[in-house]
Chain A
Amino acid sequence: MREVVVEHLARVEGHGDIEVVIEGDAVKRAVLRIYEGPRFFERILIGKSYYEVPDITARICSICPDPYQVVSSRAIEKAMGIRVDKQVEALRELQLIADVIHSHALHLFFLALPDFLGYTDAIRMATQYPDTVKLGLKVKRAGNAIKEVITGRTVHGVVTKPGGYTKVPRAEDLERLSEQLKSSIDGAREAIRVFSSLKMPEYALDDNLYIAVDPGEHYGYSGDHLLVSDGTRHPVENYMHLTNEVTVEHSSAKHSSYKGSSFMTGALARLLLNEKKLYGEAKESYESLRDRVDPRNPFSNNIAQAIELLYSVQRAVDIIDGLLDEGIKDELMVEVKPKAGEGIAVVEAPRGLLYHHYKLDDEGRVVFANLVTPTAQNAANMDKYLRIAVRNLKDLSDDELKFKLEMLVRAYDPCISCSVHLTRIRV
């Protein structure tokens, strides 16, 4: 029996190991084991006022605090029957886009690319590829600049509440932001140039199932319906059927399945399901790279992220210019009259679907919270492809095998802090 363990995966968010056991020709075990400490967020939320919820849930994850704040706010507004206006919706879409820009740039240039170019990290990679790293930093900065202008800081912004924003950005700040985004688009083009020039590994291929939000008219990161690659469409209220979480003994993140099959959520799922909704340069790029986006290969997620990075920069400029054309209104938040209710909402975080479900009492306090995160949804799918990879690579040395399995897990861009807090063990 041969055991191979990658301890404390590097260049992913959070704490996890990869464990492999091979007996003769058979792969006995190939799993991502998650050992993040339990933080009891669902318990912390109980009894809290609706107003505090986005500030609390943001703390689950520092890579995607904005999706947490937006989806919390939306679910609570649904529970209370509140509608926000177009400007709030546009600013929230920008917040989601900002998170995609900074997160994809971080993943592509800092977490994934060093593997392909033979470095331990982007800081050392910068000695040989200074322009690539600088362009990556420039586009990443543009994503974070959106967060600073709208939410007050890059991590755990302070203004996003049920009912709207406590402060609205000034027109001159939005104008500057638009210029900064336009000049950062070279970074997104660089991501496409670099990743399309690399050969994506093909040691883990199989048919896969994808789920993504239906964003409506334009490619985007929120909506009230989900699209599945089997051709079906579902209202968000049915999220339990789309996630079917079960607990497994090797991981403190629950595993999801849809009709008995694991599935993938994230950039590749969004691109495959919503490709017709792209426009502009991102659409042209995608069309020229379509044959590089193999739905059977999870490594295609890297290319999908590069295309989304370009789209997101371009889309952010369009939304900001739209807001400026309409004239940004310095409006107060919608008045919130707390009442009892139940609300379910979904957004696309950079690495996939994030569902929030709350029940509130008549003073607007949380009595029930359920949060389903992208990495928990992807966990079973990662294990599926790890097993395929081990089957194909089992003749390699331990070190080579470890390296290739780490690369595969990184392609999913997992966010382990997010995935862990919601595990429920059935005993």
Chain B
Amino acid sequence: MGKLKAGFYSLTGCQGEYLTILGMEDVLLDLLSLVDIAEFKLASSKEYDGKVDIAFVEGSVSTERDLEYIKRIRENSGILVALGDCAVWGGIQASTTGQDWKELMRSVYKTESNLYGFLGEHKGVSEVVPVDYEIQGCPIEGKEFARVLMDLVRDVKPELPDYPVCIECKVREIPCLIVERALPCLGPITVAGCDARCPSYNTVCIGCRGPIRDEANVSGELEMLLRKGYDRERILDLMSLFGARYKDLRSLIEGGKS
């Protein structure tokens, strides 16, 4: 059997997922040789627009161009894998969700005309087309990508974490930043996989891996931090940085406004 054909596509974002992959220098050539690379604009000028077996997509769906592109990618791919917080949750730019786009254009670009075909919000890929797997993170963990890629080429269903960063703090015996130091750590709502990197570097989890899909208890985290003396608006603002489109968080934000 020949190699599977894979495409690496980018929507709106910083390309941090592909930079993370290109930063795995020790294994890069072996890893990428597992597939036949059909398209990878950041690294290659090879042109291809036929079908691929696996499509990796990073970036948020933010412009009309993104929307057309992702629909075409979906049509032409077997398995679609969303890579990184932008593709999964709309990314840091989605923290503006709920704000009037004309106000955003005015505040940054001094105009209310829609210059770039902006859709009005930054969406995750799964809001627009069906997605088969989501690898979370801002950026993704290179090892997690490698594991998923190896599973897919062996036709094994990849397993991805569905538990919080807190579990990794417990395993590493890192004292809880909320309990011990009353810091506004987002570990309890954030999907694991980073080995509790930020707490291990003496700083709070800022939620960059995004909420645990369908499982993150954002009202529990809100209650806990309110008891520690933080105000509601500040906590919701922190949680919105990488998780603004998580439905329970939207309800809290929109509920608070009414």
Contact = CB atoms under 8 A, between A and B. Distances in A.
A427 B111 contact: yes
B32 A123 contact: yes
B232 to A, nearest CB: 15
A38 B110 contact: no
B22 A110 contact: yes
A38 B116 contact: yes
Contacts of A154: 19-20, 23, 142
Contact of B201 (A61, A137, A144, A159): A159
Q: Is the interface of A mostly helix, strand, loop or mixed?
A: loop
Given A62-B14, A167-B202, A137 B110 contact: no
B249 to A, nearest CB: 16
Contacts of B206: 52, 55
A425 interface: yes
Nearest to A139: B25
Interface residues of A, number: 67
A111 B15 CA distance: 15
Given A52-B206, A424-B109, A121 B46 contact: yes
A156 B46 contact: no
Interface residues of B, number: 61
A129 interface: no
Given A56-B92, A121-B40, A167-B202, A61 B32 contact: no
Contacts of B93: 37, 39-41, 44
Contact of B22 (A40, A41, A106): A106
Contacts of A156: 16, 138-139, 208
A334 B26 CA distance: 37
A159 B25 contact: no
A335 to B, nearest CB: 15
B25 A40 contact: no
Interface of B: 10-16, 18-20, 22-23, 25-26, 28-29, 32-33, 37, 40-46, 60, 62-63, 65-66, 91-93, 95-96, 99, 104-105, 107-111, 113, 115-116, 118, 122, 138-139, 142, 197-198, 201-203, 206, 208, 237, 241
Q: Which 6 A-B pairs have the closest CB atoms?
A: A37-B12, A121-B44, A62-B16, A10-B45, A37-B62, A141-B25
